[in-house]
Amino acid sequence: MTGKTIFKTLMVFTLLLAVGVMLSGTATAGRDYLVVQTWGGSLDEAQRIAFFEPFTKETGIKVITVEAGDSVGAKLAAMQRSGNIEWDIITADYATYMNNYYNKGLLEDIDYNIVNNTQDLMPGSVQKYGVGQYLEGVCLAYNTNKFPAGKEPKSWKDFFDTKNFPGPRAMHNWGGPSDNLSIALMSQGVKPDEVFPLDFDRAFKIMDTIKPHIRVWYTTGNQIMQALIDGEVDLAVSTDGRAKKAKELGAPVEIEWNQGFFFIAYNSIVKGTPMKKEALELLKFCNDAKRQAVFTKHIGYGGTNTKSYAFLPEKIQKDQPTHPDNVNKVFNFTTIKNHEWNLENVDMVDEKWNSWIAR
């Protein structure tokens, strides 16, 4: 092969490669469906039934869900570096992480000229980085066979009391460890408005006492639900929706709301999505009171639309942290004193937690 022939061959190869890249980019930019990151399992199912499938039926826009595990931030950053935006919406994460992603340039501003139906959403739901979809309560769940009426745990102090309340336990290890450390401090009488800034030395010293008794460090909602169903643990710091689902499926599980709290779980739009307009329409769609009630019926988590509760059976209403029977026992984790410290120090808290959990 002559030098001239080799040169022509290389030129053709380079041209074909460039065309391939262009076509690939055009296919991504021109797609006509939404890709939504979820947390899988029962939560994904509830979101699909209440929001995604009805949205597709009404608009004709298909919604594909992908489960991301605990590496959302890393995947968002990789998309921005490569310019290949694979997701349009990320769902059901807390203010600490959504605010962090936004500050790193990974999320779009929410256009409230389009998402213009937020008037009935509870305080804290409307943020520059996302729209609150539901409330995720954190409660003490326990096995009623192990702890029958009259002998049940009543507080975080009891959760850390392995002498009077023996048995294997569960706590989460899926990011956002401020709540675990706050629970440790509250178990010794620290009030919610006093947990921030976190006293790391004290909190981790308390966590050291319970660590040998934690059988399950769960990283997904389905994992804690299954641990409760299988009786693998007797006590758990659990999200309320998964504890309710375990109970619904026949597990001998009860919830103690005393000292419990709730977060607002947000839906946010990925920076640079080629489907921003459609993503905003889906966020607007999720604010509807009746659709949020359907979601609650399937998963147990209460909606952010305060009018959604009117569409729920009384029994389900009573299971919510904001019900009159429970509201004085719980607090909104995102409104306690100095919560801004938590938003500003999320990376540092994660680093300290990951170092401790690895020991």
Instruction: Kindly state whether residue 348 falls inside one of the protein's structural domains.
Output: yes
Instruction: Kindly state whether residue 5 falls inside one of the protein's structural domains.
Output: no
97 with 128, same domain?
Answer: yes
121 with 232, same domain?
Answer: no
As a whole number of angstroms, the distance between CA 94 and CA 332 comes to 12
As a whole number of angstroms, the distance between CA 9 and CA 12 comes to 5
pLDDT digit string, tens, across residues 109-146:
999 999 999 999 998 899 999 999 999 899 999 999 99
Instruction: Kindly state whether residue 184 falls inside one of the protein's structural domains.
Output: yes
142 with 258, same domain?
Answer: yes
Instruction: Kindly state whether residue 200 falls inside one of the protein's structural domains.
Output: yes
Q: How confident is the model at residue 30 (pLDDT cuts 50, 70, 90)?
A: low
* Number of domains observed in the structure of the chain: 2
130 with 142, same domain?
Answer: no
Q: How confident is the model at residue 42 (pLDDT cuts 50, 70, 90)?
A: confident
Domain encompassing residue 96: 11-18+23-134+265-315
Q: Check the CA dihedral 300-295-64-101 and report its sign.
A: negative
pLDDT at residue 10 tops 60: no
197 with 346, same domain?
Answer: yes
Query: Which of 26, 12, 46 shows the shortest CA–CA distance to 292?
Result: 46
28 with 170, same domain?
Answer: no
351 with 299, same domain?
Answer: no
pLDDT digit string, tens, across residues 273-310:
999 999 999 999 999 999 999 999 998 889 999 999 99
- What tokens does 338 get? 């100095």
pLDDT digit string, tens, across residues 152-167:
999 999 999 999 999 9
pLDDT at residue 29 tops 60: no
Q: Are strands 235-239 and 169-172 parallel, antiparallel or unpaired?
A: parallel
pLDDT digit string, tens, across residues 73-105:
999 999 999 999 999 999 988 888 899 999 999
205 with 339, same domain?
Answer: yes
CATH of the domain at 244: 3.40.190.10
239 with 148, same domain?
Answer: yes
Q: Note whether 170 and 218 are within 8 A (CB).
A: yes
118 with 254, same domain?
Answer: no
Instruction: Kindly state whether residue 175 falls inside one of the protein's structural domains.
Output: yes
